[in-house]
Amino acid sequence: MPVPKAELHLHIEGTLEPELAFALAARNGVTLPYADTEALREAYRFSDLQSFLDLYYSLMAVLRTADDFTELADAYLARAAEQGVRHAEIFFDPQAHAVRGVPMGVVVEGLGAALDRAEERHGISTRLIMCFLRDESAESAMATLDAAKPYLDRIIGVGLDSAEVGHPPAKFREVYEEAARLGLRRVAHAGEEGPAAYIREALDVLGVERVDHGLRCLEDPNLVARLVRDRVPLTLCPLSNVRLRAIDVLEQHPLREMLSAGLVATVNSDDPAYFGGYAGDNFDAVRGALGLGEEELRTLARNSFEASFLEDDEERRER
Ligand code: ES4
Ligand code: ZN
């Protein structure tokens, strides 16, 4: 039995497996620029974050109806459950769907239908976190937050994703201030390709409670000391880091060093359909490559629940 864990860094659009992409394309009359699932998988050779994002956004063209989003989320939850995930905090990218004329309501209601029965069907508790695309304008992010207002009963927080370098957290100061006023939890991708300074800025300017990736924090010892002291969790994604060339090989992943430093590190899958595995696969991969022991694996699982937005009483039940 895989160890029970919470998954805290998962883009639902990044769970779109080639088979489902082709099925949805056929259903929705969308033509994909690949002959078949094999040819599509062949394209999953990324050189950096942007080369992945280009494919990630283009494949989303198949997601049109609420049912499409329900099917997508249900497939993820089934896979996650098999790998020991008991709680999932799921990102979605509303702006990436709005450009195709798919409104917030369709996305949220579609995902919500799957999440509503996740506990019963898959034994997984869930939360939804809406991400802003940082390579779009702050005005667009603010309009997106505004469009989400009718759905805030289904959305617990906001995040920041997409192309990091050149789009520092401070660009979204006002958006995060408004999110805080609305009572939303705040996270942001930082220090994936961007520098440690972006992590610091996400904490200081956006008030984030948890850092997505945070891989490059090790470049700044003072920042590490602060993250340790304040128990700010990092949602690491080891297989993603290898596929997007943030590190050369998994054996070089600093996870072990991070745990030794006392950082609240967690292991997650990011975009599992694209990066070679789900949450349990990421656990297995780091265990093999880094030779993690039982104690370290237990710490990672414990950290995942501590770092979640579950309340303490809910946390105990999930574990
Ligand atoms: C993402 Cl790996 C990664 N980084 C930034 N934004 C993203 N959106 C989906 N996956
Ligand atoms: Zn991510």
pLDDT, tens only, 194-222 = 999 999 999 999 999 999 999 999 999 99
Q: Is pLDDT of 41 > 80?
A: yes
pLDDT value of position 313: 76
Distance CA 211, CA 230 (A): 12
Range 164-189 average pLDDT: 98
pLDDT value of position 89: 98
Would you say the CB of residue 189 lies under 6 angstroms from ligand 1? yes
Query: Among 113, 92, 116, 114, which residue's Cα sits nearest to residue 104?
Result: 92
Q: Where are the domains of the chain?
A: 5-307
Range 63-72 average pLDDT: 98
pLDDT value of position 273: 98
**What's this model's pTM, rounded to 2 decimal places?**
0.98
Indicate whether this complex's ipTM tops 0.90.
Answer: yes
pLDDT classification of 315: cutoffs 50, 70, 90:
confident
Q: Record the tokens describing residue 218, joined without a space.
A: 């090790």
Q: Is pLDDT of 49 > 90?
A: yes
pLDDT value of position 312: 77
140 φ, ψ to 5°? -65, -40
Whose alpha carbon is nearest atom 6 of ligand 1?
Answer: 162
Would you say the CB of residue 14 lies under 6 angstroms from ligand 1? yes
The closest-lying atom of ligand 1 relative to the alpha carbon of residue 189 is: 5
The residue written with tokens 């050189």 in the block is 47
Question: Which sequence positions are flagged as catalytic?
Answer: 192
Q: Is pLDDT of 16 > 90?
A: yes
pLDDT value of position 258: 98
pLDDT value of position 47: 96
Ramachandran quadrant class, 150 (left: phi over 0; alpha: psi -120 to 50; beta: rest): alpha
Would you say the CB of residue 11 lies under 6 angstroms from ligand 1? yes
Distance CA 175, CA 36 (A): 41
Whose alpha carbon is nearest atom 7 of ligand 1?
Answer: 162
- 5-307: what fold? TIM Barrel (3.20.20)
| Beta-carbon neighbours within 5 Å of ion ligand 2 | 270
pLDDT classification of 1: cutoffs 50, 70, 90:
confident
Q: Is pLDDT of 311 > 90?
A: no
Alpha helix stretches (DSSP H) within 64-150: 66-82, 94-98, 104-116, 118-122, 138-148
Sign for the CA dihedral angle at 299, 301, 303, 305 comes to negative
Give the closest ligand to the alpha carbon of residue 187: 2
Mean pLDDT of the chain: 97
